[in-house]
Amino acid sequence: MTRTSVFAASLVLAGAGAAQAENAIETTLSEWAIDAAHTHISFSVPHMVVSEVDGQFKTFSGKVLLDEKDPARSKLEFKAEVASIDTGVADRDKHLKGPDFFDAEKYPAIQFSSTAIKKSGKGYKITGDLTLRGVTKRVTLDATLSAPVVNPWGKQVRAARVTGTINRQDFGVSWNKSLDKGGVLVGDAVALDIKVELNK
């Protein structure tokens, strides 16, 4: 075998070894389904300086791949349908779905895809790409994950909670009205509180 052939063979073996290592990591990931009946995607926004408006998205989907031995290798993808927004007031919901805010007709979904998960105290820091109103920004959220339990139907169940704050201005959601005595009608900081039940 020539020196060139030996080098080529080494590259092939190295590539095969890397592929096997990657496959080994992938096989440690287990897929957990989001139980929509026990999941709540909520947010709150400052209103007229002195109070807050709470809302939720009622239609959503997602995929969670968990690494039981090393949760930092886990992956998360999530999508919420903008048209499903619900703040308890029909006229306000209609305004939020319109061009002044989310523009649901042009941008029907809010999406998040994790890029890194790191241990942080008793929980985790989830960094990922959040796409809202056609704008994608890198954000970091806080998360906790419970140990699994078995429900009466034999399925493994665990809970996750994701919280954080984003600035709506970063995503082009900028509509507002000034108040006579100072301040604005709608604050910029949007607090997220996502409670998820996962089934396996």
pLDDT of residue 165: 98
User: Which pLDDT does position 21 carry in this prediction?
Assistant: 46
Residues in the chain where the model's pLDDT stays below 50: 21, 24-25
Cα of 14 vs its chain's centroid, Å: 35
How many helices (H) and strands (E) would you count in the chain? Answer: 2, 12
Per-residue pLDDT, 179: 83
Instruction: Return the pLDDT at 13.
Output: 53
Residues 135-184 pLDDT 10s: 999 999 999 999 999 999 999 999 999 999 999 999 999 998 888 777 78
DSSP string for residues in 51-117: EEEEEEE--EEEEEEEESS-GGG-EEEEEEEGGGEE-S-HHHHHHHHSTTTT-TTT--EEEEEEEEE
pLDDT at 49: 79
Topology classification of domain 29-199: Lipocalin (2.40.128)
pLDDT at 35: 92
Q: Write down the pLDDT at residue 108.
A: 98
Residue 181 has what pLDDT? 73
Q: For the chain, give every domain's residue range.
A: 29-199
pTM of structure? 0.82
